[in-house]
Structure 1
Amino acid sequence: MATNQDKNHPQLKFETKNNTVNKLITVAYFITIKYNPDHFLTMFKKLYNKDQLYLIYIDHTCSIEVKNMIQTYIVHLSNVYILDSFYLQTDSHNKYKIQLNAMQYLLNVSAKWDYYINLTDDHYPLKSQYRICEYLSNNKEHNYFIYYDKSRYDLDTYNSNKYNYSGLIALKEATFSESRIIPYMSNTWLILTRDSCAFLSYSKQVDHYIELYSKSLLPSNSFFATILLNSDYKRIIINHDQRILFSKSEPIELILKKIKSNNHFFIRKMNLTSNSIIDKCIEDNYQLPLMDKKENKNELGLNNNQQN
């Protein structure tokens, strides 16, 4: 857990120009460190703001040196916390459990945040904290993640029969055949309201889904979307995770176009030292406001009418 500033520890300097957020929503970030701890330092300096909350999860596969480096780096920041790793690997079986732990931790540690955003150390912000909070303040009650109906796709998500490991049967048929639940495919990237996090953390409905997904081979790619899109909890869901996925095979012109569209909060899997053109494009657009995009919106649980 974070502690008050240690007088014996040198004060770190972060980028704060045009980054002070006043009278806007507060974001609680959950950041998993696993892939590139060095990149985390670069990302965190850009992301950090005294008005937000940060919960850091250091994967148990990271070395002791990395853990000590991160803890030393953040020890004097009173709004930064560390979630115990519980020796859980960040694979699909545990990702949703780790996220539920993170949501519960953040709900308990502070009543002042409004949105939950999960990141890893392969993310980098495309927008300042002011612009991100401004956008979310103008779109309150919106939840953001990617989803699609599993029944419309031929997916490689299966349910394992523990008595017959040679037989793998489709998750939809195995787990949901006797219910009215529609299984949705998604990814692990979430931008959720505080109320949605409270529902996921404490609703008895969620216990039923945890049991359903206990035998699924890829639970984290479906768990949150399936719960939020099937429950009777009142919410607005936008089919967009606000992230750009960088790919070396993608033409640089297309990546620049996505950045300039001002429709995303973050970019993933990009080495910032690899392309100065992309770096400059990010900086040029960093303080520009996010544009409202006509996303696919589901208003679920409203007026007892679920729209899918």
Structure 2
Amino acid sequence: MIAYLLLVHRFPNQFKRLFKAIYHLENHYVIHIDKRSGPVLQEEIKEFLSHFPNTTLLKSENAVWGGYSLVDAELRGINKLLKMSNKWKFFINLSGQDFPLKSQEYIREYLSAHQGKEFLKVLDQKKVRPDTLHRIHNYVYENDNEVVCDPIIERKFIPNITPYIGNQWVILSREFCEFVTHSPEIKKFKDFYRNTLIADEGFFQTVMMNTSFKPQLVNDDMRAIDWVPMGTVKLRPRDFTANDANFLLTNPNLFARKFDSEVDGEILDILEDSLREKSLLIDNPSDASKTARAIKEQVMQEEI
């Protein structure tokens, strides 16, 4: 039903908790580990995943914040998942510091009620976020550890294309994943965004809104994120703590980010307990059909 791509670069134990919270035998999972994280982390996660069917590691490459390498990991992950199975209907990307707010049963039911839709934030970059236009006008390139801007080179955007922007985190239909993987229309977007700052927040949005693909767009990535100021980058996602428990437990979104078990591990305990209680209802055969009906009614009610 669901194909997950997880992007990991640290905190192996926290990743394991996330993975267990989203694991389902009928889903498929591809994990990319930042090559810069080193062989110890890669081996630990590889050994952990060996106990779970329908999982595989993507070839590790450097994943530099702000660089096209993140888009490349996404595209390679989507391609890998398409080859793994022809049965899944939705693609979801997560970082190793995300966590689900709903059970897999709920998420699967929710997405089943929204077949063919695309969940991602999409904004006209020129009209709504003109402060970010330097990202596409400046020429940038990656070295092993950072993105470097060449101030001398200023670029014009792709002719007859409107730039869009949003967040990196998405829920995409299989139809769009097939399109972005195989359509010849995608080449010019890859060529341009390869030298674009924070390409992962604009690539998929711009492709979706400027090609022959006609999306059923839900302008929401279904993530609970608390953005706070951070230097010249302006905003970053705040680490949730146990003080945010009520906010997260009553939140309508499917996932939240971000979490740092070294800052506060108690909030993960709270969320795990909540998911465990919900899953116990599903696991009880006598309650299974009743629970499925309740989930479906809840999904329908939230849409209203």
TM-score tier by shorter-chain length is: 0.7 to 0.9
Correspondence 1:243 to 2:217: no
Match of 2:181 among 184, 195, 201: 201
Deviation (angstroms), 1:175: 1.1
Partner of 2:283: none
Partner of 2:194: 214
Structure 2 counterparts to residues 146-157 of structure 1, below 5 A: 146-152=121-127, 153=129, 154-155=131-132, 156-157=134-135
Distance in 1 of aligned mates of 2:241 and 2:34: 33
Q: Sort the Cα spacing of 1:122 and 1:251 in 2 relative to 1 into closer, same or farther, 3 A.
A: closer
274-283 or 149-158: bigger deviation: 274-283
Q: Secondary structure at the match of 1:175?
A: coil
Distance in 1 of aligned mates of 2:9 and 2:206: 26
Does the 8 Å CA contact 1:256/1:278 hold for their aligned counterparts? no
Greater fraction of residues in helix? 2
Match of 2:246 among 256, 263, 266: 256
Q: Sort the Cα spacing of 1:127 and 1:218 in 2 relative to 1 into closer, same or farther, 3 A.
A: same
Correspondence 1:188 to 2:168: yes
Which amino acid in the other structure matches residue 43 of structure 1? L
Does the 8 Å CA contact 1:259/1:282 hold for their aligned counterparts? no
Partner of 2:119: 144
Distance in 2 of aligned mates of 1:189 and 1:249: 17
Q: Sort the Cα spacing of 1:227 and 1:245 in 2 relative to 1 into closer, same or farther, 3 A.
A: same
Give aligned pairs, total.
Answer: 262
Describe the superposition over 1:225-249 as per-residue Cα deviations: whole angstroms up to 9, x where unpaired. 0000122213211111111125658
Q: Secondary structure at the match of 2:208?
A: helix
Q: Which runs of 5 or more residues in structure 2 are unaligned?
A: 141-148, 227-236, 279-293
Deviation (angstroms), 1:279: 4.8
Using the size of structure 1 for normalisation, the TM-score is 0.75
186-195 or 284-293: bigger deviation: 284-293
201-210 or 68-77: bigger deviation: 68-77
Match of 1:160 among 138, 154, 170: 138
Partner of 1:88: 62
Partner of 2:229: none
The CA RMSD over aligned residues, in Å, is 2.8
Q: Secondary structure at the match of 1:73?
A: helix
Partner of 1:303: none
Q: Which runs of 5 or more residues in structure 1 are unaligned?
A: 1-25, 296-308
Q: Secondary structure at the match of 1:157?
A: helix
Q: Secondary structure at the match of 1:143?
A: strand
141-150 or 213-222: bigger deviation: 213-222
Which amino acid in the other structure matches residue 29 of structure 1? Y
Partner of 2:20: 45
Deviation (angstroms), 1:42: 1.1
Match of 2:157 among 175, 193, 213: 175
Correspondence 1:266 to 2:255: yes
Distance in 2 of aligned mates of 1:201 and 1:101: 9
Using the size of structure 2 for normalisation, the TM-score is 0.76
Distance in 2 of aligned mates of 1:39 and 1:61: 18
Does the 8 Å CA contact 2:6/2:31 hold for their aligned counterparts? yes
Distance in 2 of aligned mates of 1:277 and 1:60: 29
Deviation (angstroms), 1:71: 1.0
Q: Secondary structure at the match of 1:57?
A: strand
Correspondence 1:61 to 2:46: no
Identity of aligned residues (%): 24
Distance in 2 of aligned mates of 1:226 and 1:217: 14
Partner of 1:131: 106
